[in-house]
Amino acid sequence: MTSLIALVSFSLLAGAPSAAGSGNGAAPAGTAATRYCMKAEPATGSRVEAVRCWTRAEWAKQGVDVDNDWPREGVRVIG
């Protein structure tokens, strides 16, 4: 029974998403050239989720607050 509980606990921890290195939920700090890759809505008629990698300025032009959306949509940071 103890080994079953340990296995279930480990499975839950192993499957938990990481915050990509940020402890407070905000996007990791970077330079003006750093690109933040986040999930984007799929194209009309598609169910395949897209990932877009843009700088903070490019995300802002699209009306996206990187720090606010990073915990839900963040995938990786480049640069």
41 pLDDT higher than 90: no
Q: Are the C-beta atoms of 49 and 42 separated by less than 8 Å?
A: yes
- Cα–Cα dist 1/30, whole Å: 47
pLDDT of the residue at 5: 42
pLDDT category at 24 given cuts 50, 70, 90 is low
60 pLDDT higher than 90: yes
* Percentage of the residues of the chain whose pLDDT score is greater than 90: 52
Average pLDDT in the chain: 76
Burial class (CB in 10 A: 0-12, 13-18, 19+), 54: middle
- Domain chopping of the chain, boundaries: 30-79
- Cα–Cα dist 18/25, whole Å: 10
